[in-house]
Amino acid sequence: MNLAVVPSPEKAGPPPRSDERLLIKIRAVQKAFQLLDRVCAERTIGIAIANPGVGKSYILKAWRRKNQPRVRHIWIEAAIVLSPGPVLDALVKALGIECDHKRMWKKLDAIAEAMARDPVLVVIDEADLLTVRGFEVLRSIWDRCAEILDTDGEAAFPLALFGTRALRVKLAHPDLERLQRRISEITELDPMDEGEMQMALKSKWPGLRYDDDGFAVLHRLSRGSFGWLNKIVPIAAKLAAKDGGMVTARIAGASRKYLLGLPEE
């Protein structure tokens, strides 16, 4: 589990890169940014769902870069865990809590009290990898914080969970009904359409040359997935460099044989 500790409010983050400024025009980026902004403003729980490769992690990095140090936050990239312990330990570390208690409820109380004093945004990427018990621990912290703040369960600290469609399936588990009622918003992050993919190509590979047919194949193979486009384009560019420098339909299609797991057409 990777952890980004709450940034110092006195230390400004690096300015947005040119590709990040351009990609903000893509629908998925705009919808994710708006979700995070609303969750922060209202101190609620928001969910972002997207197919693998749509660029959730890239979007989160761009948002974090854009908003540091204005929005203090904890960013956790989830890994496969068998218990909620790593989540609790990450929050304790990020919040700077001196808590050597081994009992879970002690950590829950300490985190909730810290969040009530300073409701820092918590963002969990790849949240679909969390266990049901891990989700319940997050819900418990959120509820305890809401109780301390006396908000009648309408607000506590901002919490955003990003994941694939498997996240929606996990959250529908009967044991998570209490968490389900507290989620204020679920948004679907769209794959790139042709216009958005043009922007992505211009942003990340400004020197790439391709004709209309080559572009059509790149779009079809990637299915609007930034992650797959990020794999396909470098291969197509290398193949094109040996054959006129232009990515044609033939060259773009030839990149498929060098990739494992590319979705079937």
- pTM of the predicted structure, to 2 decimals: 0.82
C-alpha 24: how far from its chain's center? Answer: 14
For 38-52, what is each residue's pLDDT tens digit? 999 999 999 999 988
Residue 4 to residue 93: CA distance in whole angstroms: 10
Residue with tokens 């043009």: 198
Closest to 141 measured CA to CA, from 166, 158, 161: 158
Our CA dihedral for 244, 248, 250, 255, rounded to 10 degrees, sits at 90
Domain range list for the chain: 2-188, 194-258
Q: Would you identify the CATH topology of the domain 2-188?
A: Rossmann fold (3.40.50)
CATH class of 194-258: mainly alpha
- Angstrom distance (rounded) from CA 110 to CA 25: 40
Query: Per-10-residue mean pLDDT for the chain, 265 residues long?
Result: 47 52 76 94 96 81 77 76 75 82 80 93 91 92 96 95 93 95 95 91 92 96 89 96 94 92 69
Query: Among candidates 132, 187, 142, 126, which has minimal Cα distance to 3?
Result: 126
- The span from the CA of 50 to the CA of 165, in Å, is 6
